[in-house]
Structure 1
Amino acid sequence: MKLSRAQYDEIVQFVSILSCSRQSLKKLKLRFPSQSQCTLLSIFSQEYQKLMKRTHANHHTPEAMERYYQRYHSRVMENSSAPVLLELANEVSLSPALMARIVLEKFLQAQESVTVSKAVINGMLRDTSLITDRTLANQVLQCTLNDFCYGPLVDCIKHSIGHEHEVLLREKLLENHLAFLEEDQLRDKGYDKTPDFILEVPVAVEGHVIHWIESKASFGDDSSHRAYLQEQYWSYWNRFGHGLVIYWHGFIEELDCHRERGILLKDCFPSDIITLQHTSSGPILPVVH
């Protein structure tokens, strides 16, 4: 779903007053009933991650981390069945999964008196049965299950959704009888940075020749699109020619401003693809799918 910048700004303004909770997502959907839930969730997640990045330094000073750990420890001693970590995260406006990481790291340091590796912490966040303290394990699991923007569960969901949309794009290419090479095939040929699909025979979309297609299971906002342009799209354009990016959850329509330079944006698979096909007598004619 394409949004005008005014529509996008209105959603972002509303998101800025929400916390990271199921109730907030319901409020967002009620406020913007005409927008798809996937679009709203993607914008919500992006804005929340931006907030966490802006405030990261404040929460990760040695003093702040020690303070959070001590507050957790004292509260859990009073009532171990209460969602202490969740409540603490909400109080200081920090992602529950990030709060769980901080407290878990401080707990492990206190147990072992050494700096614990990220790999160990990540493993325990993915599998809380590895945490020896059963109360802390339960608290960490609560944070993981109730965080919509961070944590191992969110990472798995994002990976699955991304893969699902790549499969969908592949099916659309097959339905339209388009020959293509996939990312893995391109890497086998020695390419390092590659789009999801290279078309072996270019097609035309809305009057523009397309050589490659990239799938993004997210909303295309200013910061993410700018980063993708710099790190991916222009590199693809330089190697393979003009291409198409599909933001399945929509994008700010004003960002679709590089068409003449060779990068198109769509929020779905195009329905007006024109290919070149041989007739029985030999000439090549355009065919509209």
Structure 2
Amino acid sequence: MENMKLVDGTSYFSCGEGDTVIFIHGVGLDKSMWGGQVAGLQKHFHIIGYDMLGHGESPEPQSEATIEAYANQLERLITELKLDKPITVVGFSMGGLVARAFALKYAHRIDRLVILNSVFNRTEEQRSSVLSRCKEVKKLGPGANVEAAIERWFSKEYRAASPAQIDAFRERIVTNSKNGYLQTYQLFGENDNYGVSQLDTLSIPVLVATGELDVGSTPEMAYELARNLPNAQVVVLDQQRHMMPVEAPHQVNDMLLAFIQGKPKQEQLEQSQQEQVILQEVVNGA
């Protein structure tokens, strides 16, 4: 799998064959977080992952960049790669906000949308906590709250069993561009309700998923976001934290495969029960 760059400097990889699925990482991470999804899904799909503005090997965001700038980066990727058929977009955490903004601005591009471990309608306490972390980053740089983040993101069992993986994530975070990380983190902290008044215009199938123990992207947020979408379903993975695409790739891949391939609801439910996945469909505010 080779890393490539667009004319605008966006770094991406491309592998597999079939319908295209584009993956968007979260704040402080990069396209390498999707290794488990590449291993499990490239035999089914054409997979693309890319580095957001200010992350990995992609260029810095312009000063005062908005969330639309991140959506426009994805549009440039799709245009330059000449992806003419509608695609599936999978956004994780901040990537979920970018995916939401992209879907609202470029609805004709998307066939299905997956929002993983993302945020919606934070409480004032939750929003204050995130913005407080932004202030720490502004003062001390990307490593300001890395240990607390790792503790939130991963279970203690995974941290103990996979120290090399944890070290790699720690290194990825602390070596981020201070400017790119801070700008993106601020957008993440301020845009949980981005486009809320337009969400009912998204008629495409949407999967909103998170972990039962994700304290920053809670199941309550997932259900509430889905209630604002006309064609959404919610999956909450039992006992999983924020980094479930990394910590539980088999469960996440099976969930994505079922959703993207459009298996009947009953078949999805049976599969979910076998894997101890809690599945609830939310349609038209039900």
TM-score bin, normalised by smaller chain:
under 0.3
Say which structure is richer in helix: 1
Q: TM-score, normalised by structure 1?
A: 0.25
Larger CA Rg, structure 1 vs 2? 1
